[in-house]
Amino acid sequence: MGELVEQVAAMRMERSLEEFHRFFPQAEAKFYLDQEGRGVIKVLEGRFLIGMEFVETADSWGSKKRLWEYETALRNKCRLVVLAPKEVAMAARMRLLEFNHQWLFYYLVYSYDESLRLEHIGRPHVMPGTSTHRAAQPLGGYL
């Protein structure tokens, strides 16, 4: 799994630097694997941290300290990017919705798979086949 995390991180670092160089031409990215086997990418402009990206594993994304780490990055005005394996990416995205109540919106979530395909995970929406009338009412229409 560590090799896959490193490959995904290398791809993401390249793309991330392209995005940051539009506004921060001197930005540089640093990568390391932490003790849990997940990848951490720090994007720096000189000595200032401007972006944090986490390449989570199927096990690491669910840790109780993750939301605290993500919130710390957001409160410090860093762009947050979370990359999670495809099978848990939507659950990770749903977990991050908690930040929307605190007006912390500056984050992106991507899924990745063994073929190194990255896919942006957008806002959750009503699934096909669900009655939009019922889905639009709070608590299924009980209020």
Residue 112's Cα: distance from chain center in Å? 11
Q: Where are the domains of the chain?
A: 2-123
- CA pair distance 93, 110, nearest whole angstrom: 9
96, 107 contact by CB (below 8 A): yes
pLDDT of 142 reads: 43
Query: What single-letter amino acid sits at 79?
Result: R
pLDDT of 141 reads: 43
- CA pair distance 126, 33, nearest whole angstrom: 36
pLDDT of 101 reads: 78
- pLDDT, averaged per 10 consecutive residues of the chain (143 residues), comes to 92 96 96 94 96 95 90 93 95 87 84 96 69 51 42
